[in-house]
Amino acid sequence: MTTGILSLQGNFLDHTRSLELIKKDYILIKQKNDLKSIDSLILPGGESTSMIKIQSNNELFKKLKILINDGIPTIGTCAGLILLAKDVVDGETSLGLLDCVVERNAYGRQNESFEGLVNFLDNTQMYCFIRAPKILKTGKKVKNIAFIDEEVVGVQQNNIAAFTFHPELTNDKNYLSWLKYFIEEGKNVRSF
């Protein structure tokens, strides 16, 4: 069982540490041929516009879209959420698979990044929000799974889970336990 981590740009190496902590194999995805042997996927934080431009000539995102539509467990953090969203305010829609509207850099510039207490699966943990997007609206089939106060900061739709924050920077026990089960079971992981 191998997890593919999109590694065009951004903080993909932090996700490798999360997978190492739960003893899961991974491969860094840079081109469409790297997708052959994966059964789960992580789209990391970084700069969504740069990721879209970097891959534009090699059809990588077309292949990713097929895999995700076929049900591969997929996690997006920060820019990964932006890539997955059906509608992006102040940005370009890319994969367009997650029924939500997000706003890029909704909390401000880099120096306005912050840490906040997030309730994720009935556990409260401090997580990092770095030039984070904001989830403005979700579709009927999207479950809200993480909150900062009343604001939704994590969602799940079938085999896709996405977060505005960076759980891979904290690697707390709650997140690592969820990660292990999610990449193994996808949409059937624990009831939210």
Identity (one letter) of the amino acid at 143?
K
* pLDDT band (50, 70, 90) for residue 41: very high
Inform me whether the pLDDT recorded for 18 exceeds 70. Answer: yes
From the number of C-beta atoms within 10 Å of its C-beta (0-12, 13-18, 19+), residue 1 rates as exposed
91: tokens are 């940005």
Tell me, yes or no, if the pTM score tops 0.85. Answer: yes
Sorting pLDDT into bands at 50, 70 and 90, what band is 108?
A: low
Residue 166 falls in the annotated catalytic set: yes
What is the DSSP secondary structure assignment for residue 3, as one 8-state letter? E
Count of structural domains, the chain: 1
Q: What percent of the chain has pLDDT over 90?
A: 74
Active-site entry in 15, 78, 100, 128: 78
For residue 154, what is the enclosing H or E element?
strand 151-157
Note if 168 is an active site residue. Answer: yes
Residue 106 pLDDT: 74
Distance in angstroms (rounded) separating the CA atoms of residues 118 and 111: 20
Among the listed residues 92, 103, 166, 185, the single catalytic one is 166
In percent, the amount of the chain with pLDDT more than 70 equals 94
What would the mean pLDDT of 170-185 be, rounded to a whole number? 93
pLDDT at 151: 95
Average pLDDT, stretch 50-58?
A: 80
Encoded amino acid at 72, one letter: I
Report how far residue 129's alpha carbon sits from residue 157's, in angstroms, rounded to the nearest whole number: 22
The arrangement of strands across the sheet holding 134-138 comes to 85-89, 98-103, 134-138
**pLDDT band for position 112 (50/70/90)?**
confident
Give 6's DSSP letter: E
Task: Please give the average per-residue pLDDT across 49-55, as a whole number.
Answer: 82
What is the reported pLDDT for 75? Answer: 97
What is the mean pLDDT of the segment spanning 10-39? 94
User: With the CA atoms of 106, 125, 17 and 176 taken in that order, what torsion angle do they form, in degrees rounded to the nearest 10?
Assistant: -120
* Whole-number Å distance between alpha carbons of 149 and 156: 18
Measured distance CA(189)–CA(192) in Å, rounded: 9
57's CB contacts (< 8 A; 6+ apart) are none
| CATH number of the domain bearing residue 24 | 3.40.50.880
Question: Residue 188's pLDDT is what?
Answer: 45
Specify burial of residue 74 (Cβ count, 10 A radius: 0-12, 13-18, 19+). buried
Residue 105 — very low, low, confident or very high, per pLDDT cuts 50/70/90?
confident
pLDDT score, position 133: 93
Candidates 15, 100, 103, 168; catalytic one: 168
Domain range spanning residue 69?
A: 2-188
